[in-house]
Each structure stands twice: as structure tokens, then as C-alpha cells.
Structure 1
Amino acid sequence: MHRTKPDPQEDLPDDFYIPVSLNTNNITMLSPFLVPQTHLGSPSVFMVLSVFMFFLLITGIPINVLTIICTFKYKKLRSHLNYILVNLAVANLIVVGFGSTTAFYSFSQMYFAWGPLACKIEGFAATLGGMVSLWSLAVVAFERFLVICKPLGNFTFRSTHAIIGCVATWVFGLISSAPPLFGWSRYIPEGLQCSCGPDWYTTNNKWNNESYVIFLFCFCFGFPLSVIIFSYGRLLMTLRAVAKQQEQSASTQKAEREVTKMVVVMVLGFLVCWLPYTVFSLWVVTHRGESFELALGSIPAVFSKSSTVYNPLIYVFMNKQFRSCMMKLIFCGKSPFGDEDDASSASQSTQVSSVSSSQVAPA
């Protein structure tokens, strides 16, 4: 659907957005809360997205629940960093419970059948969970930087610091997700109108959408991404320096390669999940009046919700010790892949600790 200036949203309801090009005087005929949105896409598109949301639902819940159960069941997993991984799992469950579940049913109905109030709840909860997830990834990266690179000397990252990091992610998440509930932007159906998120579309000064989008980009994407790139960049530099000093050590060289691979996967996973959503929202805000397909808004929204599956796979399953415990839990005490806890994995609290902090600490 195409939009042209001026934006007529002054005269439309506060609960949803209708593109100018639809040119209708009877807005109830197109309300995303009342009728199927087949004017935005074919029924087959809605069904495909519904199936994908169902996939995220049936995979995201077990993976994240198992992460939490394993951490509480196995004492060796109760390290300070794993508190943050549990925090990440809780945030993912919120996104799955409110976002993927709601979107699955709505796509199957081809409109947001839950109503305006549910739209605001879903938009807020999914945004909160997503923001907590983003900040949790940044905290994980910064913790690795502190523990392995030792920029503060003998500073020890303790459970108290991990708890403070977890609390901070929720504070930042609320700062990011609450404003639309109080008039700074708003939560409305997005894309194919079957899931809800912040209003990227309208130019109505009543909502100050542009400033909110810029705030989200800087505070909730740019800053966490900078922390992740800086932290993992310094980590790789430290590991490379150690590997250079120990060129004859096959284990050190192997550790450096493994950590490099993990870091690349982590950063790519972050970008795959969140870059499309960020680019789309910024493009809409900075290209007011230019035509675009409103239905395209569903693509970045789907990518962001898929982080509930990608993140556990990257941050948990690439951790040998965590993977071993999870497999034992699933298969009643024995891992089918032969993952056993060895001395090196016992010293790891996360997947980027293939080389212990004593090995990679600056000389």
C-alpha cells in the first residue's frame, strides 16, 4: 500500500493506521480489529506466516524453558553469567507468550482478532521482552570483556554484579517500551496488521513518532550493538595475542579459532534478528511521503521475533557444558551425543570461555 503526503491520521482512530492510498470513507471496512486484511496480502501469505509463528511457538518455549530448568537443576550451571542467560530466556518467553502466540492466531484469522486493548498489551510485552533480550546480549558481551580481557585488573565479576546487570536490562527495557503507553508514539497493528508494535508509519505530531524511533535506534540498537562489537572485538584481540605468544600450543590455537567462530555467529545472529527491523523503521521515518508496501512491515517483525529461537541456540547450545546438561535432562541422564564434562568445560561459564581467563589475561 502506498502513502503520500499529507498524512490524514488526525481524523482517524488512535488504535490503527490506514494508508492514504486506500481512500475510503468507511474505516470500519478496513479495521484490522474487525475484518480480514486481504487487501494487504493473499490468504496464502497469512497462512505461511501463521505456520512460521507456530514454529517459533513450539520451538521457542521448550528451548527457553529447558534453559531455565537446567540452570536450576545442575549446580555447576549456576554461575554468575548463567544468571544473565536465564534472564535472556525469561525475556524470550515473554516475546513468545505475548508476541508469537498472538501473531500465530491473528495470522490464521488474517486480522488482529484480539482487539485494540490486546494490541497495546502485546505491543508493550513483545517490545519489553525484545529490549530486555537486546540488553542481555550486551551484558553477556561486556561480562566476557571484563572477565577475559581484565581491563580492571584483579576485578572479580561476582553474582551481585550479574544480578545488577539483569536488573539493569529490565530497567532499560521498561524505559524503552513504556513511552507508547503514555503518549510518546503508540502501539498499533503493523505490517499485515496481525501483530502490534510501535507506530513507525504516521507523521501526526500528536504522537511524536519520529523522535521515539530515533530514541529506540540510538538507545536500544546502536548502543547495545556498540557494546557487543567493542567487547567481542577486544576479546578477539586478547585471544589472538595469547595465541601468537603460544604458537606451538595446539590447544591455544584451537581455542582461538573456536572463540572467533562463536563471536562471529553471535554478532551475525544479533544483526539478522534486529537489523531488518531497525532499518525498516528508520527508512519509514526518514523517507516520509515515499511509497512503500505496508505489508513489508511484517518481514522485519518476523525476524525480530525469531530471536527467541536463535539466541538460545547460539548462547546455550554452543556452550558444551550447558548443552551436555540439557541433553542429559532431555534423555534422562545420558547425552546421546557423548558430551561429557571435562576439565576444560568445567572451567567454562559460557561458550566464549574456551580459554580460561588466566590464559588470556594481558601479561
Structure 2
Amino acid sequence: MRGNRDMELPEDFYIPIKLDTNNITSLSPFLVPQDHLGDALTFYAMAVFTFFIFIFGTFINVLTIACTVQYKKLRSHLNYILLNLAAANLIVSIVGSFTACCSFSFRYFVFGPLACKIEGFLVTLGGMVSLWSLTVIAFERWLVICKPLGSFAFKPNHALACCAFTWVFSLIASAPPLFGWSRYIPEGLQCSCGPDWYTSNNKYNNESYVIFLFSFCFAFPLMIIIFCYAQLLITLKMAAKAQAESASTQKAEREVTRMVVIMVVGFLVCWLPYASFALWVVNNRGQPFDLRLATIPACFSKSSAVYNPVIYVVFNKQFRTCMLAMLGMGGGEEESSTTQSVTEVSKVGPA
């Protein structure tokens, strides 16, 4: 961009590449198509992708919530956390994917600056609740299987308290940009919104907010997840030797554990590129990059709304059976008891 960039910096958006104009407002992502950032085919391809995430993510997460409400046998403490995860996914799919689909279709953020802030906040909130829900699941598996607290039993009221924690902490972490610590602006091809990684402006202290998010909303919970599953795998390996007569219980534990481990891997596939890109931008100010590539991490982060429910539909026999029954494709009561029993009380303990 020609001219003094600092003098032209708008309050509600920032395009982090050079543009051939002295008036950045004339290219506002809230006013005109962003054809100067990419070809129409790229925008329409992203519109199709986010449309798929919106339709399928909304459907599968609504179905998950509906099944939990209808079928009493799904109301175990572990499934309460999965229900919490579905609610967070629903926010991401309805708010994030729908607005992105519409905006990519028009090739600019058609809903305006206020909607951009709302969308950025809600998607960030939903993403954080999703991550912390996965952390709680790993923590619950560690408590139930490894029994570090001895006879302590993880009960529904504990699960509900953990779910409340995910929302309170995520709200505290995602709200600051609404009040001046960083800000929510269009990102990538300017058709979806998120925290401002791009500008180095003392007014917003963006670098400190990025470091805060990466440390306490990604790296720290990831460390908890790795620790819990590492301990869990060690315990299962020891139990396989010490409790050979409890093969069915061990199998049930492995099935549920495999499900949540794959959920974590799916989440990392969606969110690790986004977190890595944010850190790269913060540590490489002024380095050129293709905004089309910058859009990919943001779009794939929204795909967590599909990854997680697909994983527990495929690997959780209870949810799969109940969903098929609700859709008229199977009997709701024909169920193997292994997954149900493991979500109630684990009989596997450390040797």
C-alpha cells in the first residue's frame, strides 16, 4: 500500500498486505468485494466448504443434543461433557460457518463491523469451550481409570461443575478484545472474523493477547491432555497384565479412551494450524504472506464442529445406536453394554 500505513489504520479492520491505494477505507471488507485479495473461484470454494460445515455441523450437533434429551441412558457424567462439547460446536457451526459462507459468497463481510465483533467473540468462545471440554474429558478419563484419588468417584455434579468451568474460563479469555485488549476484525480473505494477530499497535496490545491465548488456552490444556492420556496408557498397559480376567472391562475402557484420543487429534488438526499461524505472524511482523493461505487455518478451525461429533458417533456405541433410532434406522435399545458400563464406573485400576 502506498502512503503512511499507520495514519490510515482503521478501527475495525486491517488488510496486512500492500495495496495500490492511498485510501484503505475504499477497500473496506465491510463495503466492497475483496477481489484484490483473491480470485472469485477461491471465494466460492470457501463458500462451499463453510456451507458444508454449517449444514453438517449443525445437523449432527443438534441430533447429539436431541438424543441426550430423549434417551435417559445417555445421561452419564462423560456424556454430559460430550453434550457440552456439542453445544460449543453448535455455536461455531451456526455463527461462524454461516456468516463465513454468506460472506465468501458475496466476497466480503456483508454483516458489518458490529456483527464481525459478535462473530469473532462467539466463535472464539465456542472454540475455547470445545478445547477445554476435551481437556475435561481427558481429566475425567484419568480420574476414572488411573484412580489418582483412590476411591473418589467422578459423579454427574462434578461433570456439571467442569462444564460450567469451561464456559466461565472461556468467557473470561474471549471477552478482552471487546474491551480493548486486542480486537476482533476480519481475517484472511476478510470474510470471517477473529482476534487481531496482524497489527503491532500499543493501543490494542495484540502481542500480549496472542501470547495469553496460546499459553493458557492452547498450550496449557494440551499439556494436561498429554499428561492424562500418557498416564492412562501406562495404567491400561499395566492392567492388561494384572487383570487378564477382566478382558471385557479392559476392552470397554480402550474403546472409550480411543474415542477421546482421536477427538483430541481431530481438534489439533483443526486448531494447531490456526495457533501456529498466529504465532508466526506475531513473530514475523512485516513478512509477506498469501492471504488465501491465511484463510485456510481459520476455515479448518471451524471444521472442529464436524470432526468431534463424527468421531463420537462412529466410536461411541450408545450415541450411534440412539441416533440411528431417532432417525428411524435402528432399534434404540439394542445396545452393547460395554460403553455404557465404562461411562458409569471403571473397574480398571493401576496395578
The bucket for the TM-score relative to the shorter chain is over 0.9
Residue 342 (structure 1) aligned with residue 330 (structure 2)? no
Q: Which amino acid aligns with 1:273?
A: C
Q: Does 2:100 match 1:106?
A: no
- Rounded Cα–Cα distance in structure 2 between residues aligned with 1:20 and 1:54: 27
In structure 1, distance between residues paired with 2:183 and 2:126: 17
Q: Secondary structure at the match of 2:100?
A: helix
Deviation per CA, 1:71-105: give whole Å up to 9, x if none.
11111111112111111111111111210000000
Check whether the contact 2:236–2:250 (CA below 8 A) recurs between aligned residues: no
Query: Is the aligned partner of 1:220 residue 2:217?
Result: yes
Q: How many residues align?
A: 351
Q: The residue matched to 2:185 in structure 1 has which SS?
A: strand
Unmatched 5+ residue regions in structure 2? none
Show the counterpart of 2:134.
137
CA RMSD of aligned residues (A): 2.3
- CA deviation profile, 1:305-329 (whole Å, cap 9, x unmatched): 0000001112343111121111111
Distance in 2 separating the partners of 1:324 and 1:170 = 29
- Tell whether 2:264 aligns with 1:267: yes
2: distance between equivalents of 1:332 and 1:219?
43
Which residue is 1:202 aligned to? Answer: 199
1:246-261 matches, cutoff 5 A: 246=243, 251=248, 258=255, 261=258
Cα distance in structure 2, aligned partners of 1:92 and 1:333 = 26
Do the aligned partners of 2:10 and 2:25 also contact (CA within 8 Å) in 1?
A: no
How far apart are 1:289 and its partner, in Å? 1.9
CA 74–264 in structure 1, closer or farther in 2 if over 3 Å, else same:
closer
Cα pair 1:316 1:322 within 8 Å, conserved: yes
Shift of 1:20: 5.2
State the identity %. Answer: 67
Q: How does 1:86-97 map to 2 (within 5 A)?
A: 86-97=83-94
> Given residue 357 of structure 1, which amino acid in structure 2 is its aligned partner?
S
Report the Cα offset of residue 263 of structure 1: 5.1
TM-score (norm: length of structure 1): 0.90
Counterpart Cα distance in 2 of 1:19 and 1:73: 49
Letter in 2 for 1:210: E
Can you give the 5+ residue segments of structure 1 that lack an aligned partner in the other structure? Answer: 351-355
Q: Summarize the Cα distance change of 1:253–1:132 in structure 2 as closer, same or farther, 3 Å threshold.
A: closer
Residue matched to 1:361: 349
Query: Which residue among 289, 292, 296 is the counterpart of 1:299?
Result: 296
| Pairwise CA distance, 1:33 | 0.6
Which residue identity does 2:293 align to in structure 1? L
Work out the CA distance in 2 between the residues paired with 1:180 and 1:346: 42
Q: One-letter code of the match for 1:318?
A: F
Q: Which residue of 1 aligns with 2:311?
A: 314
Match of 1:38 in 2: 35
Residues 189 and 9 of structure 1: CA distance in aligned 2, closer, same or farther (over 3 Å) = farther
Task: Report the alpha carbon displacement of residue 362 of structure 1 after superposing the two structures with TM.
Answer: 1.6
**Distance in 2, Cα, partners of 1:155 & 1:164:** 16
Moved segments of 4+, more than 3 Å: 246-264
Q: Deviations over 1:218-261 (max 9, x none)?
A: 01100111111111111111111111235687657755764664
Paired letter, 2:335 = D
Equivalences for residues 99-178 of structure 1 within 5 A = 99-178=96-175
- 1:15-68 alpha-carbon deviations (Å, 9 max, x no partner): 100335214212233110111111111100100100011101110111101111
Q: 1:305 to 1:9 in 2, by over 3 A?
A: farther
Give the deviation of 1:348 after TM superposition: 3.1
CA shift digits 1:114-141 (9 cap, x unpaired): 1111100110111111111111110111
